[in-house]
Amino acid sequence: MASEDIEISVRGRNVRVLGIRVGERTVFIRPGWLRVAEIKDAAWLEDDASADPEACIAGLRGAKLSADLFTFSQKPPDVIPRYPYFMEWDNVAGISTTNLSEWWERRIPQETRKNVRRAVKRGVVVRDVELSDSFLNGIVEINNESPVRQGRRFWHYGKSLAEVCRHSPASLQAFALRQAAGECTAREGSRDV
């Protein structure tokens, strides 16, 4: 098992930790008094990150990394526990979308569509936007408006566009890579409200 130095975000701050490669996954130990091992970016992986937890546990033991706990989760809609380990249920709010018109016409309730139309009448701009540098710069500007949100330090305050892309979902990272290659074909079903 080859170990590597990886960067994770802990309470909005970048921290470098030791990770090991187990198959196509990187397993790392989150810093703290309770050493919790987890699969890096498990929530953003297309396939099921929990496909082989035994291999991850064996990899941790083989690399002589001591962890008090190893956590992993099954992706929805897989709700039947597949492994004989202790488990805790968690709530997930997830939607499946294929395109904007399908989502707008079939997935959201009529009341939501009505509220959006009312907002438009009151002057709110609602439009389908390209995932572009100007869109991402707008997100960065909103993040940098105030260092405090709801009485707490705002994690994303002061971050640059590069940092936002680095710690964002795979779709934004893929967009940033395509931008670097001069290709602007990414499209997201986001709303500019």
Q: For 97-111, 142-156, 166-180, which range has the lowest pLDDT when averaged over its residues?
A: 166-180
**Each residue's pLDDT tens digit, 39-76:** 887 776 767 666 778 888 888 888 777 888 888 888 77
Residue ranges of domains in the chain: 3-71, 100-191
Q: Over the chain, what is the mean pLDDT? A: 77
The whole-number average pLDDT for the span 134-153 is 87
Q: Bridge-partner residues for 21, per DSSP?
A: 26
pTM flag (> 0.85): no
Look at residue 183 in the predicted model and tell me its pLDDT.
Answer: 35
What are phi and psi for residue 79, nearest 5 degrees?
A: -105, -5
Closest CA to 159 of 172, 178, 177: 172
What's the CA gap between 59 and 78, in Å, rounded?
25
Sheet holding 36-39, edge to edge: 3-10, 13-22, 25-30, 36-39, 69-71
